Chains A and B, each alone.
Chain A
């Protein structure tokens, strides 16, 4: 697979940051179709971009389960009062408790290390699951 593939409410892209724009266009397009306000659209879009960045940068090297193609899949779902987005990769996951506190004085001027922190602040729930097939992060935004 050399380009983004869309199926229903999901988009699957090769593990490369150049496809971030495709993911963002897809996700924001769906959210606007559903009539979400622009601030909520931005909060979800920022969070998805963080998770896709993480998946590409850390989640697929080396891929779990062998030498298969490195892909990132994003699925967006709308319930009555919530939006859920899952971002899955084929990596071995990470321990969120091992991430440095980005608010600590010694970390404040570090260029990286804020992604999950920002997601946790913008979303109402963040669930991280690692299986032998890879890692799935599901975020929930209450409407």
Chain B
């Protein structure tokens, strides 16, 4: 997995690419999310358009980040969720937890 990030309208957009399956790659995303929280950047969108698939480790990173942000007055939102990840969110009922948007722009606008 590779990870890039940018900022738009006060929202941090994280753009992982590849697969989120555990091991060193997953640590990268986990650490980046917590770095944002420590820097008081609490409005975060994860653009999943470049993620082929993720497993329960990836879902766990999203959940722990979601709860940490929410407990600190922030919010994590998802954009461009692929069919495979949408399917995982559905079978795990996490679709009821995350706000997901069809585009990064829509996700950013939802913070307004």
Interface residues of A, Cβ cutoff 8 Å to B: 17-21, 24, 39, 42, 45-46, 49-50, 53, 102-103, 108-115, 117-118, 121
Q: Compute how far the CA of A27 lies from the CA of B93 in the bound complex, rounded to whole angstroms.
A: 28
Are A115 and B23 within 8 A (Cβ)? no
Tell me how many residue pairs across A and B have CB atoms closer than 8 Å: 71
- CB within 8 Å of A: which of B87-110? 88, 91-94, 96-97
Q: Is the CB of A118 within 8 A of B23?
A: no
| Contact call B53/A109, Cβ cutoff below 8 A | no
Write the nearest CB–CB distance from B86 to chain A, whole angstroms: 12
Q: Complex: how many Å from CA A111 to CA B55?
A: 12
Which B27-86 residues have a C-beta within 8 angstroms of A? 52-57, 59-61, 63-64, 66-67, 84
| B93 interface neighbour in A103, A110, A112, Cβ under 8 Å | A103
A53 to B63 alpha-carbon distance, docked (Å): 18
Known: A20-B21, A103-B93, A117-B92. A111 touches B84 (CB 8 A): no
Interface size on B, residues (CB 8 A): 27
Please state if B97 and A114 are interface contacts (CB–CB under 8 Å). no
Q: List chain B residues, Cβ under 8 A from A19.
A: 23
Which B residues touch A21, using CB under 8 A?
21, 23, 25
Determine whether the beta carbon of B22 is less than 8 Å from that of A49. yes
Inter-chain contacts of A121 with B (CB < 8 A): 91
B residues with a Cβ closer than 8 A to A are 19, 21-25, 52-57, 59-61, 63-64, 66-67, 84, 88, 91-94, 96-97
Enumerate 21 A-B pairs (CB-CB under 8 Å) in ascending A order: A17-B24, A20-B23, A21-B25, A45-B19, A45-B53, A46-B21, A46-B54, A50-B56, A53-B55, A103-B93, A108-B94, A108-B96, A108-B97, A109-B66, A109-B97, A111-B64, A114-B56, A115-B55, A117-B56, A117-B92, A118-B55
B97 touches A18 (CB 8 A): no
Contacts of B25 in A (CB 8 A): 21
A62 to chain B, nearest CB (A): 22
Q: How far is the CA of A42 from the CA of B52 in the complex (A)?
A: 8
Check if B56 sits within 8 Å of A112, measured CB to CB. yes
Task: Name 9 extra pairs, CB < 8 A, besides A20-B22, A103-B93, A109-B67.
Answer: A17-B24, A19-B23, A45-B53, A50-B56, A108-B93, A108-B94, A108-B97, A110-B63, A114-B59
